[in-house]
Structure formats: structure tokens, C-alpha cells
Amino acid sequence: MYKIKNKSIILASSSTSRRNLLENAGVEFLVRPSNVDEEPIKASAISENRTLKECATLLSEIKGTRISHQFPEDFVISSDQILEFRGLCFSKPKSFNEAKIQLHELQGNTHILHTSVIVFLQGKRIWHCLTSPKVTLRPLTKTEIENYVIAIGDSAFNTPGSYQIENQGCHIVSSYAGSFYDILGLPLLPLLEFLRLHGLAFYQEE
């Protein structure tokens, strides 16, 4: 198990994909979701003409700060991802119809996933990484979109764009540019490099 001696690593997110990434990397961590209502914050930031990159970082900052104040002596990891297509922000769909509309717009095109991760200690940001991988969906017919949404069920509501590339989303993605980990919502490789600099190491379980 990989851990930092005398400190806990806390993931300030309820995201299954982020949790799976850390678990598969053998990192010992706790999950403490921030439960921040993202949509009003995002809408306010966009109305203030903030870029979508800045919005992703802002959301990470707000969520992580809240949890870091609760656990000031531990390393708190906070991450957020925003889907940008033709300058517009796509949020998680709230209905199957909205999921189909998003997929219709994204099919046959390339979109950007602005992915921010921040590490906090004692309520302050001590490290930040922002990446912007690109994903291209293959051209899809109306029937293919209908069948895909039926196949994935309620998981359509888990991510903007209604696809999860690590699951059945692989059937509609034609290519991507950037790190696969970043597309899943967590820039894992730079994050692990930072944590190693702060003591992350393998400890054999007793």
C-alpha cells in the first residue's frame, strides 16, 4: 500500500472514477465528499466571463478548501472537470432526453475536458495541475444514440456528455489526445509525482 507516513490522504470527491484510479494505484486514502452544489457556482463564474479552465480550477478550489478546513493536517485532493464544446459548457444531463441531445451535438466532433486537481494542506492550496485532453466521438445515428442511452441507463447522468470512456463509452469514442487518466477526471501521473515528493511510498501491510 502506498501512503504518506503520519498523514492521511483525503479525496474530496464522491466520483467513482477518481476513487477507482487511486485504489488501482494502491494508494491508501479516505473519501470525504465536499457536497458542493456546483451548478450555481459555475453559472456565476461564467456570467463573470471566467474561462472554462478557470471554472474547473475554481470548483476544485472551493470543494477542497471546505474539506481541508475540516482536516487541516492531512493532504486533501480536490478535482473537477468541465466539458467544453465550441466555447460552451456542458453539464451533467438531468434526463435521458437531455443526454441524447448532448450526444447528438458531440457526435462526429472533438470536445475538450478541462481537468483540474489541487492538493491542500492546512486549508491552503499547495499544488495545482490543469490539463485539457481532447476526445472525439465517432459519427452516430439517431438510432445508435437511442440504443447507447438505453444500454448505459442511469449512468448517463454521471458525466457531462453522457459517456464514460472506461466503460461502454468506448463504443462511441473514436480517438483522444492527452492522458487517459486525465479524461477519467484526475491527472493521476503528476499528482503521484507531487505526492512522492512529500513522502508517498510503499509500506508493506503488517
Catalytic positions, written as ranges: 80
Phi, psi of 49 (to 5 degrees): 65, 25
Percent helix, percent strand, percent coil in the chain, to nearest 5:
40, 30, 30
Angle between helices 96-106 and 142-152 (to 10 degrees): 130
Q: Contact at 8 Å (CB) between 151 and 168?
A: yes
Give me the half-sphere count of Cα atoms (radius 13 Å) on the Cβ side of residue 58: 18
| Residue 2 three-state SS | strand
Backbone φ, ψ for residue 194 (5° rounding) = -65, -45
Cα separation of 159 and 17, whole Å?
10
CA–CA separation, 187 vs 78, rounded Å? 11
Measure the N-to-C terminal CA separation of the chain; round to a whole number of Å: 11
